[in-house]
Amino acid sequence: MLTNKGLTITENLISVVLVGIIVAATLFSMVSAQRYIASANHHYQAINIARDELENIFSGEIVITPGSSYARSITIDNVTNLTGTITVDYSDTTLNMDILVTWIEGMWTNQASQETIVAFVP
């Protein structure tokens, strides 16, 4: 007398495939979340760099006159060695100071990112 104790090979293969799909989806979600967290951190760092630059200008450490501009290289993230450019443009007509921080990020696809602070200078 034969007894059916256990699973067939087809049932085992289906369960292995389903577990594989679940594991792959979980890993993809974790990697995507990590990428978004890194990008948000870069934006946060860029805003802080722009604010520091604005504080240096208002405190007199950096002198800029209306109608002038300058640009310099910066490091946004020391861990990943992500670099970018900060550009300061002081308009002589509106007396607005635009501070623009730009960088390229991404491992496989290069994506241009930027943060801008606009300040009115009385």
What is the pLDDT, as a whole number, of residue 71?
Answer: 92
Read off the pTM.
0.75
Is residue 27 predicted with pLDDT exceeding 70?
Answer: yes
Sign of the alpha-carbon torsion through 110, 33, 102, 76: negative
Residue range 26-33: mean pLDDT, rounded: 94
Residue range 84-90: mean pLDDT, rounded: 91
Is residue 94 predicted with pLDDT exceeding 80?
Answer: no
- pLDDT, tens digit, for every residue of 43-66? 999 999 999 999 998 888 988 888
Calculate what percentage of the chain has a pLDDT beyond 70: 94
User: What contacts 24+ positions apart, CB below 8 Å, involve 95-103?
Assistant: 95/66, 95/120, 95/121, 95/122, 96/120, 96/121, 97/54, 97/57, 97/64, 97/121, 99/50, 99/53, 99/54, 100/50, 101/46, 101/47, 101/49, 101/50, 101/74, 101/76, 103/42, 103/46, 103/76
Question: What pLDDT band is residue 1 in, cutting at 50, 70 and 90?
Answer: low
More confident residue, 31 or 95: 31
Residue range 104-108: mean pLDDT, rounded: 73
Give me the chain's average pLDDT, please.
Answer: 87
Question: What pLDDT band is residue 91 in, cutting at 50, 70 and 90?
Answer: confident
DSSP 3-state of 119:
strand
**Cα 18 to Cα 10: distance, rounded to the nearest angstrom:** 12
